[in-house]
């Protein structure tokens, strides 16, 4: 049994106020995440403890203590304040997983601004859409990504500061560009943090939907309460653990459980800024004696594909607890990890909008391979009928996963889109958009999404966004994008295209269109397959029937086709 106590005990005695007391937070008081993740840990006597073990793609290693974390956050916070950055200004982080990304996250929060983390793999158009929506005032980046920002800079008049944290390679800074070196800056020992209250905005994460533009999910400093306790109880993080969360902070997992959760607990965590390979990952784990590992099913399936033989080359006896996130963890992956690592992966379910783990295979609880587990203590979850939105009480019935609002990490709105935010709540429930059933023992089993968002390797891709990019290619007349099953990534993007008159489909054009999308959006959003069609299936009103295309890809019932044109 884990030190955290049994699931049954916690459910009966749980109150969020107890977690506030544990963190020393009083309602109405100051709760700045940046301070809680660095200064507070130093005040507890752990200033010299390693906070971050960082390794780059060349194998270079750097280590930073919690005092280093505190000083770096202070120094960046002071730098931003000297630029005139104010409370609630949006500051984008557009970097690879380098130490400055993690330090800047804390520094922005200490200064009272809002962190807007974005994947450095985004190309200029994806970047533009998100910066424009947030009216971002400053962006912190690396010289290698400057060309993307320069391409859209003139369309972003409100973007006052482009802060470059590394060498510009002897090039002169261009319009609005400023260089900042943490190594050369005078460390700031004493810094008056912004006195953030519970509802002060903290992080703005962007997520995609089936229609419309990406939505900015606004979180607040009070989210710390949820992220702290779920990291402690679900990830079972303990004082002497060495922890690795493989998620990029451009994804909510990389901030909630790659920054806030572990560091608010004073845990040493490792970051590997390198692409995936089984050899690199196993070597990294073995060398750093990682005890708790939080990864994605996509990566787990890729490791399975690499085979069992390679594992024998590494001492992985350091593992104590394994967990996964981002998409359903199939039964085979759980059984495989038990066989090769001697421990099962504990699946966890949550969303960008929920901000913290909602349903999980709680440590010490019986694991049913393939199940999401049960709701976290303090979380009230039900399955709702899709039509009436009334709770389904009978085991085995498929319904929409819903949560009773009120947990600390719940999003507070969609940025500049309150209408869409309100649509997420029906009959007093937050509607997740995912479907599941609950068995007779209260375990949740994931069925699928209720909309068409594509979950590729744990990253949500908007079909609308990809379709829009496709239509900008001079050869494309119409486009429809759906998910296609994939052995490793669970789902990948597949595009159906009609060409403009006089053009002929060929492999060269297919590759050209794929790369066009990759350069505009990202490699994640790039179609892995393109089907050229004479015409797309449409309703009599002219609406493309994506549902039909998706059903064919997944071998599912195509349903009612009475509205299909020329049926």
Asked if residue 426 belongs to a domain, the reply is no
Indicate whether 344 and 459 sit together in one domain: no
Indicate whether 290 and 165 sit together in one domain: yes
Residue owning tokens 């996250």: 105
Cβ-contact 265, 237 below 8 angstroms: yes
Last residue of a domain, one of 355, 376, 397: 376
Tell me what pLDDT residue 1 has. Answer: 40
Query: Which stretch of DSSP H or E encloses residue 520?
Result: helix 507-520
CA distance 495 to 328: 24
3-state secondary structure of 276: coil
Residues whose CB is less than 8 angstroms from the CB of residue 6 and which lie 6 or more positions away in sequence, other chains included: 364, 365
Indicate whether 111 and 206 sit together in one domain: yes
Q: Domain holding 534: CATH number?
A: 3.30.300.30
Tell me what pLDDT residue 238 has. Answer: 97
Asked if residue 63 belongs to a domain, the reply is yes
Query: Angle formed by the axes of helices 297-306 and 331-341, to 10°?
Result: 60
Could you give the number of structural domains in the chain? 2
Residues whose CB is less than 8 angstroms from the CB of residue 508 and which lie 6 or more positions away in sequence, other chains included: none
Residues whose CB is less than 8 angstroms from the CB of residue 186 and which lie 6 or more positions away in sequence, other chains included: 75
Indicate whether 494 and 352 sit together in one domain: no
CA distance 170 to 154: 23
What sign does the CA torsion over 486, 490, 492, 496 have? positive
Cβ-contact 376, 358 below 8 angstroms: yes
Q: Kindly list the distances between the CA atom of residue 401 and the CA atoms of 280, 297, 381, 410, in Å, as whole numbers in the listed order.
A: 37, 21, 7, 15
3-state secondary structure of 358: coil
Asked if residue 513 belongs to a domain, the reply is yes
Query: Angle formed by the axes of helices 507-520 and 124-134, to 10°?
Result: 30
Concatenating the DSSP letter of every residue in 185-229 gives SPP-S--------TTSEEEEEEE--SSSS-EEEEEETTHHHHHHH
Asked if residue 431 belongs to a domain, the reply is no
Indicate whether 191 and 334 sit together in one domain: yes
Identify the burial level of 72 via C-beta atoms within 10 angstroms of its C-beta, where 0-12 means exposed, 13-18 middle and 19 or more buried. Answer: buried
Indicate whether 91 and 177 sit together in one domain: yes
**Sheet with 529-532, edge to edge strand ranges:** 476-486, 490-499, 529-532
Q: Kindly list the distances between the CA atom of residue 284 and the CA atoms of 20, 50, 281, 350, in Å, as whole numbers in the listed order.
A: 35, 17, 5, 27
Asked if residue 216 belongs to a domain, the reply is yes
- Give the rounded distance of the alpha carbon of 174 from its chain centre: 32
CA angle 66, 240, 110 (to 5 degrees): 25
Residue owning tokens 């064919």: 552
CB atoms < 10 A from the CB of 231, how many? 26
CA distance 567 to 558: 13
Indicate whether 468 and 368 sit together in one domain: no
Cβ-contact 550, 452 below 8 angstroms: yes
pLDDT tens, the chain, 567 aa long: 445 678 888 889 999 999 999 999 999 999 999 999 999 999 999 999 999 999 999 999 999 999 999 999 999 999 999 999 999 999 999 999 999 999 999 999 999 999 999 999 899 999 999 999 999 999 999 999 999 999 999 999 999 999 999 987 667 888 999 999 999 999 999 999 999 999 999 999 998 755 567 899 999 999 999 999 999 999 999 999 999 999 999 999 999 999 999 999 999 999 999 888 999 999 999 999 999 999 998 889 889 988 899 999 999 999 999 999 987 788 888 999 999 999 999 999 999 999 999 999 999 899 999 899 999 999 999 999 989 999 999 999 989 999 999 999 999 999 999 999 999 999 999 999 998 999 999 999 988 777 777 888 888 888 878 988 898 899 998 899 999 999 888 899 999 999 998 999 999 999 999 999 999 999 999 999 999 999 989 865 566 788 899 889 988 877 666 456 654
CA distance 554 to 484: 7
Tell me what pLDDT residue 330 has. Answer: 80
Q: Kindly list the distances between the CA atom of residue 456 and the CA atoms of 5, 233, 265, 333, in Å, as whole numbers in the listed order.
A: 35, 28, 31, 17
Q: Domain holding 341: CATH number?
A: 3.40.50.12780
Last residue of a domain, one of 376, 403, 419: 376
Structural domain containing residue 346: 7-376
Cβ-contact 461, 452 below 8 angstroms: no
- Tokens representing 110 are 């200490």
- In DSSP terms, 383 is beta-bridged to 401
- Tokens representing 177 are 């560009």
CA distance 451 to 423: 14
CA neighbor of 130 nearest in space, from 163, 106, 101, 94? 94
CA distance 200 to 198: 6
- Tokens representing 72 are 């770096």
Tell me what pLDDT residue 560 has. Answer: 60
Indicate whether 206 and 74 sit together in one domain: yes
Indicate whether 204 and 350 sit together in one domain: yes
CA distance 24 to 137: 33
Asked if residue 137 belongs to a domain, the reply is yes
- In DSSP terms, 121 is beta-bridged to none
- In DSSP terms, 220 is beta-bridged to 201
Rg (CA), the chain: 24
- Kindly report the pTM of this predicted structure: 0.87
Last residue of a domain, one of 346, 376, 406: 376
Asked if residue 81 belongs to a domain, the reply is yes
In the Cβ-directed half-sphere of 422, how many Cα atoms lie within 13 Å?
Answer: 4
- Tokens representing 405 are 């609002």
In the Cβ-directed half-sphere of 48, how many Cα atoms lie within 13 Å?
Answer: 1
Indicate whether 485 and 366 sit together in one domain: no
- Tokens representing 1 are 């049994």
Asked if residue 1 belongs to a domain, the reply is no
**How long a stretch of residues is the chain?**
567
Q: Kindly list the distances between the CA atom of residue 495 and the CA atoms of 35, 90, 188, 499, 545, in Å, as whole numbers in the listed order.
A: 46, 34, 51, 12, 13
- Tokens representing 293 are 């590992």
């Amino acid at each position: 049994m884990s030190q955290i106590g049994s699931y049954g005990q916690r459910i009966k005695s749980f109150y969020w106020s107890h977690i506030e007391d544990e963190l020393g937070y009083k309602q109405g008081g100051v709760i700045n995440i940046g301070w809680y993740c660095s200064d507070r840990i130093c005040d507890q006597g752990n200033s010299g403890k390693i906070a971050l073990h960082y390794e780059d793609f060349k194998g270079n290693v750097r280590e930073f203590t919690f005092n280093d974390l505190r000083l770096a956050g202070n120094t960046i916070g002071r730098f931003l304040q000297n630029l005139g950055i104010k409370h609630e200004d949006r500051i984008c982080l557009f970097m690879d997983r380098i130490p400055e990304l993690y330090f800047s996250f804390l520094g922005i929060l200490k200064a009272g601004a809002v962190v807007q983390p974005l994947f450095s793999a985004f190309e200029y158009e994806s970047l533009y859409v998100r910066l424009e929506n947030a009216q971002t005032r400053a962006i912190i980046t690396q010289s290698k990504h400057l060309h993307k920002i320069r391409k859209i800079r003139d369309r972003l008049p409100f973007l006052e500061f482009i802060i470059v944290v590394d060498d510009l390679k002897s090039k002169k800074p261009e319009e609005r560009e400023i260089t900042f070196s943490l190594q050369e800056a005078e460390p700031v020992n004493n810094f008056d943090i912004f006195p953030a209250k519970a509802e002060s905005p903290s992080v703005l994460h962007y997520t995609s939907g089936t229609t419309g533009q990406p939505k900015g999910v606004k979180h607040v400093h009070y989210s710390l309460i949820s992220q702290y306790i779920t990291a402690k109880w679900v990830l079972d993080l303990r004082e002497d653990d060495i922890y690795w969360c493989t998620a990029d902070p451009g994804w909510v997992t990389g901030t909630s459980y790659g920054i806030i959760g572990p560091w608010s607990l004073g845990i040493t965590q490792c970051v590997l800024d390198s692409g995936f390979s089984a050899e690199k990952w196993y070597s990294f784990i073995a060398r750093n004696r990682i005890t708790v590992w939080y990864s994605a099913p996509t990566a787990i399936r890729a490791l399975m594909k690499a085979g069992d033989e390679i594992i024998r080359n590494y001492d992985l006896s350091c593992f104590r607890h394994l967990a996964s996130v981002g998409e359903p963890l199939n039964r085979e992956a759980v059984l495989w990890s038990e066989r090769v690592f001697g421990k099962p992966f504990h699946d966890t379910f949550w969303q960008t909008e929920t901000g913290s783990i909602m349903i999980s295979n709680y440590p010490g609880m019986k694991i049913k391979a393939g199940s999401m587990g049960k709701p976290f203590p303090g979380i009230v979850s039900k399955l709702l009928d899709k039509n009436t939105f009334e709770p389904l009480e009978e085991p085995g019935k498929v319904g929409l996963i819903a949560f009773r609002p009120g947990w600390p990490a719940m999003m507070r709105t969609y940025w500049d889109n309150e209408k869409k935010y309100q649509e997420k709540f029906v009959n007093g429930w937050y509607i997740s958009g995912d479907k599941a059933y609950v068995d007779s023992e209260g375990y949740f089993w994931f069925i699928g999404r209720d909309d068409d968002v594509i979950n590729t390797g744990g990253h949500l891709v908007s079909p609308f966004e990809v379709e829009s990019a496709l239509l900008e290619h001079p050869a494309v007349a119409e486009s429809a994008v759906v998910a296609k099953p994939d052995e490793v990534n669970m789902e990948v993007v597949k595009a159906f295209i009609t060409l403009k008159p006089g053009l002929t489909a060929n492999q060269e054009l297919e590759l050209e269109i794929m790369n066009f999308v990759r350069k505009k959006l990202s490699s994640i959003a790039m179609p892995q397959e393109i089907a050229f069609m004479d015409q797309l299936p449409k309703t009599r009103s002219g609406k493309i029937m994506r549902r039909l295309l998706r059903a064919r890809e997944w071998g599912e019932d195509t349903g009612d086709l009475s509205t299909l044109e020329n049926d």
